[in-house]
Amino acid sequence: MSLTAETQSVIVGSLLGDAYLTPSGSLQIEHCLNQKAYTLWKYEKLKSIAGKPPKRVERYDCRTDKTYCSMRFYTKAVLKEFRMRFYKEKKILPEDLGEFLDPLAIAVWFMDDGSRGARTPRGLVFNTSGYSAEEQKFLQKLLAEKFGVQMSVHKVGKGFQLYVKAESFDRFKELISPHLIAEMRYKIPDDPVTTAPT
């Protein structure tokens, strides 16, 4: 199926982040209820291949004795090619990811899995615990070579996180800012403190 560049970028960014692609080629998009606006934005961007509009989903977790609410929708089963690229026994990073990765895809990935780092005002982090150590290095190298964004790999518990180095903060912000929706701009500071208070 022929997809626009924008549609493809949203798919790739979502697959790097929270999305799941079924064996039949249907992309599942689901975000917490607080991110309803983001879910609706994705639905609009993927409308050409989407099925029914997002709906509220409730799940009871017996471990916490709480009910969690989210918004979810599926695309039509037209993305088998992406399933073949991004999955083996589990989700993987295709070797040719660099051909599909652009600023919009990175912005979607960041809106899915990115946040501010706790240690520095200019710290940004991707939660990439689902990827292996080798895949972390692959992402680190790809972002440096293609986009000039320097990152470091941090071991966190049993997984990993990718940190945008402070010296690449401005470059990374310039790259993704045009694509961040208003409701997700809180993830990246507008005017980070760069000097110690006097």
3-class secondary structure, 94: coil
Q: Which domains does the chain have, with CATH numbers?
A: 5-92 (3.10.28.10), 98-184 (3.10.28.10)
Angle 177-16-102 from CA coordinates, rounded to 5°: 45
For 103-153, write each residue's pLDDT tens digit: 999 999 999 999 987 666 677 999 998 899 999 999 999 999 999 999 999
Please report the DSSP string for 132-149 in residue order.
Answer: -HHHHHHHHHHHHHHH--
pLDDT value of position 122: 73
For 155-189, write each residue's pLDDT tens digit: 888 888 999 999 999 999 999 999 999 999 999 87
